[in-house]
Structure 1
């Protein structure tokens, strides 16, 4: 890493931190949402499905602007968090994590839901006939069987969060050392004369991280699938 400048190292480290927390905090909600969409029938189910996948369709800048209006210091949620808890998300790295989590959430939910759709509901029904409660059935039957999808979704979401740019720069700007993630650093470098070589270094690092995430996702999901099949 000695061939990287301190600013470039900060951008890589911040991107890793943002992606980690974005994935960690959104994973439980993604599991619950995927389970609700796959197994439950309730009014507004299609509306929920549309809202979950909306970030995939909207331009990322639009998503970032909506976050700014909602979670900014003058937004309804942002003002409440600041006044009552002293939490500020706009123009902070925590806001970058929120933006990355929202943009990556649809990929995570979709991967988990596809895995859950492959689980035979009769296995859950059989556990229910033996007297198991719904939470126990989910924890001991459903969750282990959908593990490959959870692993795949989490790693893909991590990779997506690492590469998030549009929503992040709109919501938290591009402040070196504070909110400048890897994509933002690349964008800043290509705007200045002589920054092409540094931008290329970061591009190569981005490609390496993305490829590593995809390969790791494939390997872990296959390993989890063999373990489930063996069980």
Structure 2
């Protein structure tokens, strides 16, 4: 035991060659956030936070991100279940296709969405002719962009949660006469529910911070397609203090997400 009452590490002290870059990495991640907080004009903060553009952009961000997560759950949960529970040819390819939007540059994602769902797009043109509805420059277009970039996070997180749920319990339910649909509803999903919720929160946070695909596909129209990230981008060009205030809101939301996920990623061994 050491003087502090803690047991000494049997492997010895961590080497300086590992500690030094670890400290540099932590500083690299923390210093920009501290600098941002230090640069905020706290006296004008209440006025900046009470602005009408912020309220509109924040409301649009919250509603579209929530709608995107509901769509991602409805569509992504079956995909995650297939990847985790069903053996089929091409499963690896399906996983790759699900993962592609995660590594795709956001602007490219916006171009791809416009090619598919724009007014002259592969799907958008027939949809416009049949219904008169077009996704671009609407709140529904924002939801679509959010779903495209965030659903992969939801699918992969839920797949991991489903894999940790004991598959033998599915077999036990089948021997008792349960159909695969009943087993999915009554056994698989309840066992994986904490991981499913964590995946939804993670996807919601990713959706809330989406910028590139949204502005490329939908533009930046206040009250209609202007979300918090796009508002911060345009505000920074004319009012640095207001942009810092808006960034503070996003930082608070991000910290809140981490608090919600603390049992999954912030727990102590």
Structure 2 length normalisation: TM-score? 0.78
Paired residue for 2:261, among 200, 217, 220?
A: 217
How far does residue 87 in structure 1 lie from its aligned partner after superposition? 2.2
Q: Which structure would you say has the larger Rg? A: 2
Q: For 2:75 and 2:262, locate their aligned partners in 1 and report how far apart those are by CA, in whole Å.
A: 23
Greater Cα offset, 82-91 or 21-30: 82-91
CA deviations 1:67-96 (Å, max 9, x no partner) are: 011100000211122121232101111111
CA deviations 1:101-148 (Å, max 9, x no partner) are: 111111111111111111111111011111111111111110100101
1:55 correspondence with 2:101: yes
Which stretches in structure 1 are left out of the alignment for 5+ residues?
A: 223-231
Q: For 1:92 and 1:72, locate their aligned partners in 2 and report how far apart those are by CA, in whole Å.
A: 11
Aligned length: 219
Q: Residue 123 of structure 2 aligns to a residue in which SS?
A: helix
RMSD: 1.5
Q: Residue 136 of structure 2 aligns to a residue in which SS?
A: coil
How far does residue 4 in structure 1 lie from its aligned partner after superposition? 2.2
CA deviations 1:161-206 (Å, max 9, x no partner) are: 11000111110011112111000000001122xx111101110000
Q: For 1:215 and 1:33, locate their aligned partners in 2 and report how far apart those are by CA, in whole Å.
A: 28
Q: For 1:94 and 1:191, locate their aligned partners in 2 and report how far apart those are by CA, in whole Å.
A: 27
How far does residue 208 in structure 1 lie from its aligned partner after superposition? 0.6
Is the contact between residue 92 and residue 178 of structure 1 (CA under 8 Å) also seen in structure 2? Answer: yes
How far does residue 43 in structure 1 lie from its aligned partner after superposition? 2.3
1:189 correspondence with 2:235: yes
Q: For 1:47 and 1:4, locate their aligned partners in 2 and report how far apart those are by CA, in whole Å.
A: 48
Paired residue for 1:208, among 236, 239, 252?
A: 252
Paired residue for 2:71, among 22, 25, 48?
A: 25
Show the counterpart of 1:38. 84
**Superposed structure 1 runs of 4+ greater than 3 Å apart:** none
Q: For 1:196 and 1:186, locate their aligned partners in 2 and report how far apart those are by CA, in whole Å.
A: 9
